[in-house]
Amino acid sequence: MRTGLGRVAVSAVSAAVMTTACLDDNPWFEEPTGSDSGGGTTMIGATTTVTPPPATTTSGSTTDEDDTEDDSETTDTTSSLTTTTSMTGVMSVCGDGIPEGGEECDEGADNADDGACTTACKFPACGDGLLQAGEVCDDGNPAPDDGCVACQVPRTCAEIHMLDGNAPSGAYVLDLGGPDPVAVYCDMNTTGGGWTVIERSALDDPIGVALFKDYPVNLDQPGEAPFRLGRAAMELMLANTTELRIDCGGADYLLTSSLALFEGEQGGATCENAAAIMYKEASLKGYMKTDVLLCTGFLGAEDGCEGAWYIDEGAQYLCQSEPFPWEFMIPVTSQSADTFAVDAAVKDTQDPVHDCHQDGAVRVVMLR
């Protein structure tokens, strides 16, 4: 079982709302410089103008005996109202309806932690740990990898990337819509970032066996190889992604629709299962094909098959496609090499060796 993946507070009412209000109020996204001359944000200890206190006290030359003892901040919590004395000696009472001293706001009896002014006399803000309008969660921290980022619960790595452009590649927590949060690895670098890795496997692992089965691997180690999400998690991801990318960290890769993920199932349970897939981009050894149909093997629907997503340049006829698609009638990989696939028995040895077939290669399947 996974550990350390604690649920975050989720508001069912606003679960589907992705507003920008949170970002506007989010302290983690504030510009680090610039004076704060906005209304009502006077900081404790600041020397800026303060609103005159109620009749029982005076600002500056106060006559309140409790306020003349020293100039440090003190708080009286003996009543339902919180009395605070600021560094400048100005006493304020949170809850008296008068914004004063270090208070950002004060709406008296209307102060509420989910309202326009909190019970601490602060404006609602993403990062204050209180769930407020426009926020799906607020875990009170700026970390984007714990299932709550910028007060939203991310469903994909692309959403994390959008909410926090500085979020690096690494392990994250997503809410895919299933019963539990899911640990994944986000690739924030490849072609603009925002990729959610659903499978990572070393060349000689018996991988790809199970895009069509439920063979989760290393669910609590999303940054390791091998790693594979369970079938249900993959299916949930399809609702919020459009692109599928397969590569091994080099220049060779395939880019197609995420809807092609389970295309191999249409061919039935056989190791000879193949289908013509439309690739938006197919890069191989310096050759780039765009919007090209490539006959793709989906070994894996049956136990004992070697894996999925192999492309045999010469066997394109299986889909009535032209052979040797990258360079007309000239193979650029070894004969019968299962390009992009995982069959260690049919490796490419023709220089330059295909990225996915090099020693130590790790094949990554990811969605965005």
Interface ranges with Ca ion (CB under 5 A): 92-93, 96, 98, 100, 106, 128, 130, 132, 138-139, 141, 143, 146, 148
CB of 241 to Ca ion, least distance (A): 22
- Our measurement of the distance from residue 365's CA atom to the centroid of its chain's CA atoms, rounded to an integer in Å, reads 16
Contact 75, 83 (CB under 8 A): yes
Shortest reach from residue 198's CB to Ca ion, in Å: 23
Residue type, 40: G
* Residues 254 and 268: beta-carbon distance below 8 Å: no
Of the pair 140, 352, the CB lying nearest Ca ion is at 140
**C-alpha dist (Å) from residue 74 to 99, 108, 122:** 17, 20, 18
Residues 93, 96, 101, 106, CA torsion sign = positive
List the Cα angle 137/143/145 in 5-degree steps: 85
Q: What is the spatial distance between Cα 282 and Cα 293, in angstroms, rounded to a whole number? A: 10
Q: At its nearest, how many Å lie between Ca ion and the CB of residue 228?
A: 26
Choose between 153 and 203: whose C-beta lies nearer to Ca ion.
153
Least CB distance from residue 327 to Ca ion, whole Å? 49
Q: 106 vs 159, which CB is nearer to Ca ion?
A: 106
Q: How many CB atoms lie within 10 A of CB 134?
A: 20
The minimum distance between CB 18 and Ca ion, in angstroms, equals 16
In terms of CB distance, is 141 or 290 closer to Ca ion?
A: 141
Output 14 or 321, the one with its CB closest to Ca ion. 14
C-alpha span between 51 and 316 (Å, rounded): 79
Q: How far apart are CA 313 and CA 322, in angstroms?
A: 9
Of 130 and 174, the one with the shorter C-beta distance to Ca ion is 130
Q: What angle do CA 188, 193, 195 make, to 5 degrees?
A: 85
Q: How far is the CB of 103 from Ca ion (least distance, A)?
A: 5
